[in-house]
Structure 1
Amino acid sequence: MTLRLDDAETSALRRRADLEERSMQEIARAAIREYIEHHSRADLIDGVLDRELPRFAEALDRLGR
């Protein structure tokens, strides 16, 4: 895989890597892992809510009054 960044993104990534004393690749890979974990959790929560909220719609409506 090739990741193409514009000049500003490359510069920001390089500064971050220098600050953390890590490689640009390490920083990018960590960012990708965090993105996937965050979105995987959000997708799981959304799925549960889509399935379960209808079961409790009436109770939630009553509580909201």
Structure 2
Amino acid sequence: MTLRLSDAEAEALRRRAAHESRSMQDVARQAVREYVEYHSRAELLDRVLDEELPRYAEALERLGQ
């Protein structure tokens, strides 16, 4: 895989990696892992809410009154 960054993105990544004394590749790989984990959790939460929320809709509506 080749990752093409704009000059500004590459410079920001370079600065971040230098600040953390890590390689640019390590920082980019961690960012990808965090992105995937965050969105996977969000999708799981959405799915659970879609499945479970209707079961409690009446109680939630009463609580909101």
TM range (shorter): over 0.9
Q: Number of matched residues?
A: 65
Q: Structure 1 residue runs of 4+, over 6 Å off?
A: none
Counterpart position of 1:4? 4
Unaligned runs of 5+ in 2: none
Counterpart position of 2:34? 34
Per-residue deviation, 1:3: 0.2
Q: RMSD in angstroms over aligned alpha carbons?
A: 0.4
Unaligned runs of 5+ in 1: none
Seq. identity, % = 71
- Give me the whole-angstrom Cα distance separating, in 2, the residues matched to 1:64 and 1:16: 45
